């Protein structure tokens, strides 16, 4: 606060301060608010002769950042299949920065709320994201990713040495052949060999 005129000494009082802030008989005041909100802070100055002056300022305190959602979709994948990490953030002061850790070794993070990972390393992973806002305040969250061999979304399931794609081809061949030709008895599905 800049004060001019009047007769010294001056008495300075504050009102409307946010929680966590205390007034003082000083033209400067350090304040570390503990609650978000919009506050109208008033300063009143009284000089030795009883004269006074006042002024107001509006102070907006942003809430601390928080991670409201952090997911891997899908959370279980086959090797070589892609998953996407998504982060949702509330509060804080934009812009945010994003940092990821715990990803598979062949995946890299990015300074973004969405990261795509395609891994060929089987394992269970706990992935952490740290979000930092423009004021240097941070929030974090974790999620899990499982990379499996030959199963999971985007992969193929094995059974008896055949993949799901092969099984579809076999079914088509059997149905087409079982209709028979020339009035002969339809052939039995057992008469057909598996096609790779």
Tally of CB atoms within 10 A around 52: 13
**Predicted local distance difference test score (pLDDT) of residue 27:** 86
The pTM (predicted TM-score) of the whole model is 0.64
Q: Is residue 15 situated within a structural domain?
A: yes
Same domain, 116 and 163: no
pLDDT digits (tens, 9 = 90+) for 110-134: 999 999 999 999 999 999 999 999 9
Which of 9-13, 21-25, 56-60, 172-176 bottoms out in mean pLDDT, i.e. has the lowest? 172-176
Answer yes or no: is 6 within a domain.
no
The pair of structure tokens assigned to 148 is 């499996």
Q: Tokens 């998504």 belong to which residue?
A: 86
For every residue of the chain, which 3-state class applies, written as one string?
CCCCCCCCCCEEEEECCCCCCCCCCCCCCCCCCCCCEEEEEEEEEECCCCCEEEEEEEEEECCCCEEEEEEEECCEEECCCEEEEEEEEECCCCCCEEEEECCCCCCCCCCCCEEEEECCCCEEEEEEEEEECCCCCEEEEEEEEEEECCCCCCCCCEECCEEHHHHHHHHHHHHHHCCCCCCCCCCCHHHCCCCC
Same domain? 70 vs 46 = no
pLDDT digit string, tens, across residues 141-189: 999 999 999 754 544 444 434 334 344 444 444 444 444 555 555 545 5
Question: Mean of the per-residue pLDDT values for the chain?
Answer: 83
Q: What is the CATH number of the domain that holds 86?
A: 2.60.40.10
CA–CA distance, 35 with 15 (Å, rounded to integer): 16
In the chain, the number of structural domains is 3
Q: Which domain holds residue 71?
A: 66-148
> Do 89 and 15 have their domain in common?
no
Query: Quick check: is 4 in a domain?
Result: no
Mark whether 56 and 72 lie in a shared domain: no
Residue 196 lies in a domain: no
More confident residue, 194 or 111: 111
Instruction: Identify the burial level of 161 via C-beta atoms within 10 angstroms of its C-beta, where 0-12 means exposed, 13-18 middle and 19 or more buried.
Output: exposed
Residues 140 and 104 in one domain: yes
Find all residues with CB under 8 Å of 52, minimum gap 6, and list them.
44, 45, 46
| 140 and 93 in a common domain | yes
Same structural domain, 76 and 139: yes
Is there a domain that residue 45 lies in? yes
Mean pLDDT value across residues 38-42: 96
With respect to residue 5, please indicate whether it lies within any of the assigned structural domains: no
The answer as to whether 153 is a domain residue is: no
Is there a single domain that holds both residue 82 and residue 120? yes
Q: Which two structure tokens, joined as six digits, stand for 165?
A: 């794609």
- Assess whether 126 and 143 both reside in one domain: yes
Residue 170, pLDDT score: 42
Is 143 found in the same domain as 105? yes
Shared domain check, 140 and 76: yes
């Amino acid at each position: 606060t800049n004060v001019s005129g009047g007769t010294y000494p001056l008495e300075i009082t504050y009102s409307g301060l946010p929680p966590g802030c205390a007034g003082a008989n000083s033209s400067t005041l350090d304040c570390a608010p503990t609650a978000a909100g919009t506050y109208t802070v008033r300063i009143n100055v009284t000089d030795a002769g009883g004269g006074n002056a006042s002024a107001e300022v509006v102070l907006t305190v942003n809430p601390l950042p928080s991670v409201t959602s952090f997911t891997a979709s899908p959370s279980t994948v086959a090797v070589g299949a892609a998953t996407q990490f998504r982060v949702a953030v509330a509060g804080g002061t934009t812009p945010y920065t994003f940092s990821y850790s715990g990803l598979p070794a062949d995946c890299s993070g990015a300074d973004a709320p969405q990261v795509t990972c395609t891994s060929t390393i089987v394992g269970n992973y706990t992935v952490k994201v740290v979000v930092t806002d423009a004021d240097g305040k941070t929030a974090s969250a974790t999620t899990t990713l499982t990379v499996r061999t030959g199963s999971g979304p985007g992969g193929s399931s094995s059974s008896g040495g055949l993949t799901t794609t092969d099984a579809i081809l076999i079914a088509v061949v059997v149905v087409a052949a079982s209709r028979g030709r020339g009035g002969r008895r339809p052939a039995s599905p057992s008469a057909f060999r598996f096609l790779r």
